[in-house]
């Protein structure tokens, strides 16, 4: 992918280290039994949540961030006490080898294994019974993984993709928006699940955004991005050909150049794209940014809500009310106002999709919780049988009255007359 050094450090190394440090800093606290509220009946007993591992966990990763997307879940899975089988993507061969040959020398071989496998072997791997499956990849393969998991009743987390909308309102600092959108869209040559997939804005804003995006792209990558060390390449020929067909959407306003031998696609902006155009039919996963013109924010929100729920919604406006309206009236895995990608850097925020973009979440404590079975435990004393006898047959109205009062959850601030 010729991922620039900076982008590797940022997305593969720094985020993994942050996850690791966050986990090591807090693990002794997270793993402790959590004591919970008790009723009158159980007042003298121990009621707590035990943090149990699931058992054997399978982690399947994609190719676009081949280190981060395996190691971040791995950190939480091990922290929660599980044994782990790691399945890297077969598309990024070098990273797959690094994982298969390197990782085992740092991990306990009795508790972990790396399986280098393509689709056929992974299909067979999924026939086994796991105690948890954590899958990152496309929505299409997510369905296959969930179907296989259902046969064994295995719980899953699915971190999937989708089309992330980016609404740009008429009131904003256009140049700042252009830089932030261009950075998010062209990072890793657009091969990022949380990249803004398309811009929604008015026709007037499109006219202002185009020169601003052109300026931002030139500032970032110089007059010829193909010569820039800071712009990556498409992962493979199949993905390159797929992206080329998406270029036939709207009009090419910026970029559009391709070089198949180099798997290079220039940072490209497509203007006046229609919802029926090829670029709007699937997740782009490449350095192509379509702009779809809408009349106003309401139309943008309707557009977003008429499609599958995305991994993230982006909204740009100097008016906080507009950003909040987009947040409140849409549904997505995550949300980021006035920037792109940066929400993923916080280990304090859950990261995950909803609907077509995924199921479950991770990052920081959310990763630990994902790989933890929260076992509800009540440990009672052996004595006080007279109190216990209140719930044994033969039943009576009087016994029921006492049990009701002793175990009832009272409504707070309820009017006593009702
Ligand atoms: P993919 O779904 O093609 O492959 C992901 C993994 O599944 C790979 O390890 C692959 O070997 C395996 N796989 C592929 N076909 C399979 C099958 N039929 N049965 C079993 N396993 C199979 O995804 P990809 O092309 O590697 O990655 C790109 C996708 O991942 C995009 O849709 C992107 O949005 C998504 N993604 C999501 C996140 C997230 O955190 N939500 C992060 C990165 C990428």
Q: What pLDDT was estimated at residue 416? A: 63
| Distance from C-alpha of 65 to C-alpha of 418, rounded to nearest angstrom | 58
193 is an active site residue = yes
What residues does 264 pair with on adjacent strands?
Answer: 259
| Distance from C-alpha of 280 to C-alpha of 88, rounded to nearest angstrom | 29
Ligand 1 center to 179 CA (angstroms): 29
Cβ atoms 52, 105 nearer than 8 A: no
Q: Is 138 in the pocket of ligand 1 (CB under 6 A)?
A: yes
Q: What pLDDT was estimated at residue 27? A: 98
Cα dihedral 72, 77, 78, 80 in deg (nearest 10): 130
pLDDT tens readout for residues 228-240: 999 999 999 999 9
pLDDT tens readout for residues 320-356: 999 999 999 999 999 999 999 999 999 999 999 999 9
pLDDT tens readout for residues 47-82: 999 999 999 999 999 999 999 999 999 999 999 999
Nearest CA to ligand 1 atom 22: 119
The DSSP symbol for 12 reads I
The number of beta carbons lying within 10 Å of the beta carbon of residue 17 is 13
The number of beta carbons lying within 10 Å of the beta carbon of residue 295 is 9
pLDDT(418) > 80: no
159 is an active site residue = yes
Q: What pLDDT was estimated at residue 417? A: 64
| Distance from C-alpha of 28 to C-alpha of 273, rounded to nearest angstrom | 52
Q: What pLDDT was estimated at residue 413? A: 78
What pLDDT band is residue 130 in, cutting at 50, 70 and 90? very high
Cβ atoms 135, 60 nearer than 8 A: yes
Mutate to test the pocket of ligand 1, among 62, 95, 119 (most ligand atoms within 8 A of CB): 62
pLDDT tens readout for residues 6-22: 999 999 999 999 999 99
| Distance from C-alpha of 187 to C-alpha of 8, rounded to nearest angstrom | 10
Nearest CA to ligand 1 atom 42: 193
Instruction: Give the residue among 200, 208, 177 at the shortest CA–CA distance from 297.
Output: 200
Q: Is 282 in the pocket of ligand 1 (CB under 6 A)?
A: no
pLDDT tens readout for residues 180-203: 999 999 999 999 999 999 999 999
Q: What is the mean pLDDT of the chain?
A: 96
Ligand 1 center to 62 CA (angstroms): 4
Q: Buried (b) or exposed (e) across 231-254, using 16+ Cβ within 10 A?
A: bbbbbeeebbebbeebbebbebbb
> What Å distances lie between residue 253 and 218, 249, 250, 288, 367, CA to CA?
14, 11, 9, 11, 41
Catalytic residue among 12, 159, 166, 283: 159
Cβ atoms 361, 374 nearer than 8 A: no
- The set of residues, in sequence order, having a beta carbon less than 8 Å from that of 252 and lying 6+ positions away, is 268, 269, 270
pLDDT tens readout for residues 278-332: 999 999 999 999 999 999 999 999 999 999 999 999 999 999 999 999 999 999 9
Q: Is 193 in the pocket of ligand 1 (CB under 6 A)?
A: yes
Q: Mean pLDDT across the stretch 131-149?
A: 98
Complete domains list, the chain, with CATH: 5-161+360-374 (3.40.605.10), 165-351 (3.40.309.10)
Cβ atoms 303, 292 nearer than 8 A: yes
What pLDDT band is residue 91 in, cutting at 50, 70 and 90? very high
Ligand 1 center to 64 CA (angstroms): 9
Q: Is 137 in the pocket of ligand 1 (CB under 6 A)?
A: yes
Ligand 1 center to 96 CA (angstroms): 14
- The set of residues, in sequence order, having a beta carbon less than 8 Å from that of 85 and lying 6+ positions away, is 56, 57, 58, 59, 112, 113, 114, 115, 125, 130
Instruction: Give the residue among 109, 151, 106, 107 at the shortest CA–CA distance from 133.
Output: 151
Instruction: Give the residue among 174, 272, 261, 186 at the shortest CA–CA distance from 221.
Output: 186
pLDDT tens readout for residues 365-385: 999 999 999 999 999 999 989
What pLDDT band is residue 412 in, cutting at 50, 70 and 90? confident
Task: Please tell me the pTM assigned to this model.
Answer: 0.96
Q: Is 141 in the pocket of ligand 1 (CB under 6 A)?
A: yes
Ligand 1 center to 176 CA (angstroms): 32
Nearest CA to ligand 1 atom 17: 119
């Amino acid at each position: 992918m010729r991922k620039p050094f900076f982008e590797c450090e940022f997305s593969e190394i720094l985020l993994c280290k942050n996850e690791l440090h966050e986990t090591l800093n807090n693990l002794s606290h997270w793993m402790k039994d959590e004591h919970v509220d008790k009723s009158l009946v159980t007042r003298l007993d121990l009621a707590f949540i035990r943090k149990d591992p699931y058992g054997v966990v399978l982690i399947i990763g994609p190719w676009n961030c081949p280190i981060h997307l395996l190691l971040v879940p791995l950190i939480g899975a091990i922290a929660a006490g599980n044994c782990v089988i790691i399945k890297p993507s077969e598309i990024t061969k070098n990273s797959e080898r690094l994982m298969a040959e390197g990782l085992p020398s740092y991990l306990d071989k009795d508790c972990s294994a790396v399986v280098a496998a393509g689709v056929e072997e992974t299909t067979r791997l999924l026939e086994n019974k796991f105690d948890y499956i954590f899958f990152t990849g496309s929505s299409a393969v997510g369905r296959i993984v969930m179907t296989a998991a259902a046969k064994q009743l295995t719980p899953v987390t699915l971190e999937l993709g989708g089309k992330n909308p980016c609404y740009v309102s008429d009131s904003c600092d256009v140049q700042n928006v252009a830089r932030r959108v261009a950075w998010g869209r062209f990072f890793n040559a657009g091969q990022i699940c949380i990249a803004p997939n398309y811009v929604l804005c008015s026709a007037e804003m499109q006219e202002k955004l185009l020169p601003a995006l052109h300026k931002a792209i030139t500032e970032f990558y110089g007059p010829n991005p193909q010569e820039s060390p800071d712009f990556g390449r498409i992962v493979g020929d199949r993905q390159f050909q797929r992206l080329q067909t998406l270029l036939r959407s709207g009009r090419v306003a910026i970029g559009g150049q391709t070089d198949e031998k180099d798997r290079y696609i220039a940072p490209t902006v497509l203007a006046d794209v229609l919802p029926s155009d090829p670029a709007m039919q699937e997740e782009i996963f490449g350095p192509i940014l379509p702009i779809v013109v809408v009349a106003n924010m309401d139309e943008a929100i309707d557009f977003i809500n008429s499609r599958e729920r995305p991994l993230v919604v982006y909204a740009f406006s100097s008016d906080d009310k507009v950003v909040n309206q987009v947040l409140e009236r849409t549904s997505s895995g995550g949300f980021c106002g006035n920037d792109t990608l940066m929400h993923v850097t916080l280990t304090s925020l859950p990261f995950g999709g909803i609907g077509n973009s995924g199921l479950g979440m991770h990052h920081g404590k959310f990763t630990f919780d994902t790989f933890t079975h929260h076992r509800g435990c009540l440990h009672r004393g052996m004595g006080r049988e007279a109190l216990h006898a209140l719930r044994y047959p033969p039943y009576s109205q009087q016994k029921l009255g006492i049990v009701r009062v002793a175990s009832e959850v009272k409504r707070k601030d309820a009017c006593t007359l009702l």
